[in-house]
Structure 1
């Protein structure tokens, strides 16, 4: 079967996996999940019982969930095109960077996402934004310091899945309007470089349902039920 990524909108961190798949260039399909529509399709529990995106189905029908697991799976493909051999110092550095982005930096936005769902309670919403703002600023300052001396976020000589994840999550700072990324010049320059990348342009257009052309191996969108029907019994 064609490897298939289930991605969530709006603003899902699954954007990172779309970017990585485009960079990889191997054939893949996408299946869209509207995260704000409840309940989610019952069949999706067959893909991920936790009802979370991203989720990925390999060519062999193996089910993967969690961005970090999916991205590291992709990083090992095609001669470690988007990563490094297991056990190498470069692999350890990539793991460290990706782990920071997927835990501390991701978690900094949790109060802001909670506030996002509290439009009917402005005082509580603002309190959550006040709580989240310094956490996001701390994360951006850390990334800005790293990028002052690095071409790519993991410190290597090539783009990796960590850059894909950074592109997906760092955009939330401006989405929630809690700070100006321009105040972190090295981070801002890196994000501008990523936003100009054809894979990032493509992934953003996919999320927004705008016309776009793949520079990778995109085979089109597939229905959830069609993917489930192909899974091993």
Structure 2
């Protein structure tokens, strides 16, 4: 079974997993999940009971959820290509430290703004959420700006899964418009460089439903029901073996 990544639109953090799969270069498929309608449906909760993307159906029919787990799954298969690192090495620890920061701090900073976008509120609540979100986003940008410094990539001289994940979250700065990325020149430099990467351009085109040309291993889209049927069939095959 060719792995399937269930990615959320619009502007899901699963964007980073698409980029990482492109960098990996192995065959994979995509399943487009509209948010919030489809992602919260009973049909998708068969894939992920939490009702969130991304989720990954592996070649063995197992389901992996949460960006950090999916990125580490990809990284374990990309060690030879310098995409990930062997567990137990200092490089592996540094990568997971950066992924954890991006997930728990950088991502989390936008949560009040996403809540404001997705839920109806009175004017007072909207103002409080926007102010709180702005403070958190500014703080996270300042921290990551200092962590990056003048290095070409988040971990140093080569791109890693952390840069793929950053590419998907950093665009929320433009989406919500509460800070100017140009005020953080190191982050702005990295973001602009990533925008020129073929895998990032591919992921942007995929989300926009354009004619995307893969530079990696993309072999097509699959519908949610077909994907679920394949997962069930693979599991039954394994049980019968």
TM-score by length of 2: 0.92
Question: Is 33-42 or 164-173 further displaced after alignment?
Answer: 33-42
Q: How does 1:65-214 map to 2 (within 5 A)?
A: 65-81=65-81, 82-118=83-119, 121-155=122-156, 157-214=157-214
| Matches of 2:100 and 2:229, distance apart in 1 | 34
Any conservation in 2 of the 1:55–1:63 contact (CA below 8 Å)?
yes
After TM superposition, the runs of 4+ consecutive aligned structure 1 residues lying more than 6 A away are none
Any conservation in 1 of the 2:41–2:51 contact (CA below 8 Å)?
no
Cα distance change, pair 80–142 in 1 and its aligned pair in 2 (3 A): farther
- Measure how far apart 1:78 and its partner are: 3.4
| Matches of 1:122 and 1:160, distance apart in 2 | 42
Q: Is 1:64 aligned to residue 69 of structure 2?
A: no
Aligned residues: 232
Question: Is 50-59 or 139-148 further displaced after alignment?
Answer: 139-148
3-state secondary structure, aligned to 1:6: strand
Q: Is 1:32 aligned to residue 32 of structure 2?
A: yes
1:4 aligned residue? 4
| Matches of 1:106 and 1:154, distance apart in 2 | 18
1:229 aligned residue? 229
CA displacement, residues 76-98 of structure 1 (integer Å, 9 cap, x when unaligned)? 10335311111111111001000
| Matches of 2:221 and 2:139, distance apart in 1 | 38
CA displacement, residues 45-99 of structure 1 (integer Å, 9 cap, x when unaligned)? 2211111100000111111000000001101103353111111111110010000
Any conservation in 2 of the 1:194–1:200 contact (CA below 8 Å)?
yes
- Measure how far apart 1:164 and its partner are: 0.6
Cα distance change, pair 72–172 in 1 and its aligned pair in 2 (3 A): same
- Measure how far apart 1:39 and its partner are: 7.4
CA displacement, residues 153-182 of structure 1 (integer Å, 9 cap, x when unaligned)? 123x21111001111111111210101000
5+ residue gaps, structure 2 = 237-241
TM-score by length of 1: 0.95
5+ residue gaps, structure 1 = none
| Matches of 2:90 and 2:61, distance apart in 1 | 31
